[in-house]
Amino acid sequence: MNDSTLKPGDTLGLIGGGQLGRMFTQAAQRMGFQVAVIDPDRHCPAAQVGAIPITGRWDDRQTLEKLAQISKATTVEFENIPARALFYLEKLGVACRPGWRGLWVSQNRIREKRFLERLGCPLPFWCEICSESDLDRAARTVGLPLILKTAAEGYDGKGQARVESASQLADAWNSMGQRPCVAESLVQFQAELSIIAGRDQFGAIACHGPMWNHHTHHILDWSIYPSPFGPIITTEAVKIARRVVESLGHVGLMTVELFLTNDGHLIVNELAPRPHNSGHWTIEGSPTSQFDQQARILAGWSIGDTYSSTPACMGNLLGDIWTNGEPAWAESLQADPGIKLHLYGKTSPKPGRKMGHLTVIDTDPRQALARVQAARHTLKSQARPSCQSTSQLA
Ligand code: AMP
């Protein structure tokens, strides 16, 4: 062990205290660490479970200095943190895992695609759009229909437009404020997959997944592990994820989102240098959850075992579940006592907002999915009208 190895009782730094930060905090606490979190909200989901709140912005020097005073190593719950914030933390003697490179590459779709292309990873046809003169070329090189995505700050389908004809391109680009974009060919896929690679400071790598992910309105609805697409696809997904983390020298987690095309090969959609919604099932289903892994890597410990032979399904609980009032928690959990409920401590259940999730471990992955769906249906259909919840949704 070297001097960047932490010990229980030490404080781990975290930037961003939403649900990913909350589940990281809980995992780190189980291993005896304390967590200090930078978040603009003093009562963010991570602070609610005991992370020490450092209220402020992650690009503010004084806020970063406060974190550096109490923690020797810092991780992140999202990728849109300026590289200079991590440089500053490192200057103050704080190890950043992941480091700036993984964040810098994945926070901009143009950089990300160039990087993946150099690595020889399979991508949709794409081109960058930085000026009006790029628009014509996009339709010719990428083909139609295409998807236009802002290079920075898009997520869950936000900052995206589907373009059917060349004449719609200029309008679509204008609607994005003429910001730098990528144009991508529309991939004909049979499934969306993800794989979460963890790489420790010694260079050892272990992967969770691939998971099979289903989205509704661009938001993850459910994930199933293992993917039902067989060993060739699993091997290929692992190979891509390993190539990405090795070439970045990444120390931390890296999620690779993939399309499985109709003709049976993988295409990389995007990268996220952090835990991922599709990996929440690992809390119950894997010897080392994605959050345990994040904490182990951050502490400078060696990577944990990720192998799991038990199928699992995770279903998101969006604010929509509150449409008819307070969801029927007791009824749903009584009807299927094997359901695991996770809520993130958020108070305003808006449609599309991730409020929590359910996990089911089952010998049959299809049955795990059916049980998640039945539980969610019970939550909503047997909800009790409550003035507060319904007015918040209005
Ligand atoms: P993203 O924010 O890039 O993950 O996109 C959100 C969702 O849009 C993805 O999960 C896909 O369902 C869909 N999508 C994104 N890019 C493409 C593409 N090139 N072809 C087809 N569907 C796409």
- CA–CA gap between residue 382 and residue 329 (Å, rounded): 9
Q: How many C-beta atoms surround the C-beta of residue 222 within 10 A? A: 23
- CA–CA gap between residue 246 and residue 101 (Å, rounded): 12
Does a cis peptide bond (omega within 30 degrees of 0) precede residue 45? no
Contact 187 CB / ligand 1 (< 6 Å): yes
Asked if 222 and 277 count as a contact pair (C-beta separation under 8 A), the reply is no
What's the CA-to-centroid distance between 26 and ligand 1, angstroms? 31
What's the CA-to-centroid distance between 366 and ligand 1, angstroms? 24
Residues 208, 324, single domain; the answer is yes
Cα angle, residue 291 at apex, residues 275 and 246 outer, rounded to 5°: 55
pLDDT of residue 157: 66
Closest by alpha carbon to 224, among 315, 332, 319?
315
Half-sphere exposure of 210 (CA within 13 A, CB side): 29
Residues 170, 197, single domain; the answer is no
Residues 61, 155, single domain; the answer is no
What stretch of H or E contains 142? helix 133-142
What's the CA-to-centroid distance between 276 and ligand 1, angstroms? 16
Tens digit of pLDDT at every position of the chain (394 positions): 455 699 999 999 999 999 999 999 999 999 999 999 999 999 999 999 999 999 999 999 999 999 999 999 999 999 999 989 999 999 999 999 999 999 999 999 999 999 999 999 999 999 999 998 898 888 889 999 999 999 998 766 678 999 999 889 999 999 999 999 999 999 999 999 999 999 999 999 999 999 999 999 999 999 999 999 999 999 999 999 999 999 999 999 999 999 999 999 999 999 999 999 999 999 999 999 999 999 999 999 999 999 999 999 999 999 999 999 999 999 999 999 999 999 999 999 999 999 999 999 999 999 999 999 999 999 999 999 875 544 444 3
What's the CA-to-centroid distance between 104 and ligand 1, angstroms? 21
Contact 218 CB / ligand 1 (< 6 Å): yes
Asked if 361 and 284 count as a contact pair (C-beta separation under 8 A), the reply is yes
- CA–CA gap between residue 87 and residue 376 (Å, rounded): 44
Write down which residue in 141, 159, 185 finishes a domain: 185
Q: How far is CA 174 from CA 155, 177, 358, in A?
A: 19, 5, 40
Domain total of the chain: 3
pTM: 0.95
By most ligand atoms within 8 Å of CB, the mutation choice from 260, 269, 276, 316 for ligand 1 is 269
pLDDT of residue 155: 66
Index of the ligand 1 atom closest to the CA of residue 185: 19
Residues 263, 372, single domain; the answer is yes
Residues 361, 327, single domain; the answer is yes
- CA–CA gap between residue 299 and residue 47 (Å, rounded): 20
Residues 59, 91, single domain; the answer is yes
Classify residue 102: in a domain, yes or no. no
- CA–CA gap between residue 182 and residue 310 (Å, rounded): 39
Residues 147, 276, single domain; the answer is no
The pairing of strands 11-15 and 34-39 is parallel
Closest by alpha carbon to 345, among 48, 53, 15?
48
- Look up the CATH number of the domain holding residue 181: 3.30.1490.20
Asked if 73 and 298 count as a contact pair (C-beta separation under 8 A), the reply is yes
What's the CA-to-centroid distance between 220 and ligand 1, angstroms? 11
Structural Rg of the chain based on CA atoms: 21
Residues 264, 335, single domain; the answer is yes
Residues 91, 160, single domain; the answer is no
By most ligand atoms within 8 Å of CB, the mutation choice from 80, 116, 126, 147 for ligand 1 is 147
Q: Which residue lies with its CA nearest to atom 10 of ligand 1?
A: 218
Write down which residue in 185, 203, 231 finishes a domain: 185
Asked if 259 and 187 count as a contact pair (C-beta separation under 8 A), the reply is yes
Residues 135, 240, single domain; the answer is no
User: 146: domain range?
Assistant: 125-185
What is the full DSSP assignment across 178-217? T--EEEEE---EEEEEEEEEEE-TTS-EEEEEEEEEEEET
- CA–CA gap between residue 277 and residue 267 (Å, rounded): 20
Write down which residue in 79, 96, 113 finishes a domain: 96
Q: Where do runs of H (alpha helix) occur along 300-364?
A: 329-335
What's the CA-to-centroid distance between 328 and ligand 1, angstroms? 33
- CA–CA gap between residue 210 and residue 203 (Å, rounded): 21
Contacts of 319 (CB under 8 A, 6+ apart): 348, 349, 350, 351, 352, 353, 355, 393
pLDDT of residue 3: 56
Contact 192 CB / ligand 1 (< 6 Å): yes
Residues 341, 224, single domain; the answer is yes
Classify residue 117: in a domain, yes or no. no
- Look up the CATH number of the domain holding residue 222: 3.30.470.20
Please name the residue that has the structure tokens 């992910």.
213
Residues 36, 158, single domain; the answer is no
